[in-house]
Each structure stands twice: as C-alpha cells, then as structure tokens.
Amino acid sequence: MRYLVKAKVKPGQEKPLLAAIESGTLGRGSVAGQEYLENVDQARIAEDGVCTWVEVCFCATPLEEERTYWEQYFDLLRIKDAHARKNCRDANGIEAWACCDCDCTRKLERKLQLIGKPLVSALREKR
C-alpha cells in the first residue's frame, strides 16, 4: 500500500536527521532498508514545517515497522491511504508487492513536488 505521510521534524532533531541522511544510516536495521533515504529525498516541507511524502508499506498496520525509525526524528501527524485500496493490486490480491513498482500515485507525487521545498535542502539551509 502507498500512504501519504505528514509529519514535523521534532525540535532539535534537524541536525541529527540530516546527519543520518548524509551518512546513509537513516533506517539502518529496518527491513525497509534504503526506502527511508528515498522517502526523505522525495519529501517536501511546507512553510508551516509540515513534511509530506508518499511511502510504500506492506505492514498490516500502516508504517508499523517504520514508525520506530521515523519517530526518532519526526512527530507523525497523519498517515492515510494515498489512493483507494480497491484499486491497489497488492491489497486486492491481484499482484503481491505491486506497490514497489506501481505508478498509482505518480499524479499525487507530481503534485507534492509543487509544495514547499525539498526537505533535505531545507535541512541543509538550517545547518
């Protein structure tokens, strides 16, 4: 499933988050592996400090496995389906793991690129 995630970087976690991104250690030990770095690379931050990204997760509870890693740096504000579950080939049983290569949220992801600025750039500016 693909989820639309909204979160705020916790106060004082901007530098540690950037260090984890730049060193490639963000999410180390997670089964999601490199996905954390891909997520922050696509994440956008708005004027109000809310970060938004689309994340693939196959847990029964959205971001169940990833939550521990994200909550080290972020206050998670909202996690919701990025599209209708009935249209998800993984969720409806048509194709296992379909979300990995699916373009079902491409339109949403393009729209997000128009919001605010890239999270990583914003973190670098605050150094």
Where do the DSSP E strands lie in the chain? 2-9, 44-45, 50-56, 74-81, 117-118
Which pLDDT does position 103 carry in this prediction?
74
Nearest to 4 by CA among 54, 45, 50, 51: 54
Diameter over CA atoms, the chain: 46
What is the band of 11 on the pLDDT scale with cuts at 50, 70, 90? very high
pTM of the model: 0.89
Q: Find the length of the chain.
A: 127
Q: What's the burial of 110, exposed, middle or buried (CB within 10 Å: 0-12/13-18/19+)?
A: exposed
More confident residue, 58 or 25: 25
Per residue in 48-91, pLDDT (tens digit) is 999 999 998 888 899 999 999 999 999 999 999 887 777 777 77
What is the phi/psi pair of residue 54, to 5°? -105, 130
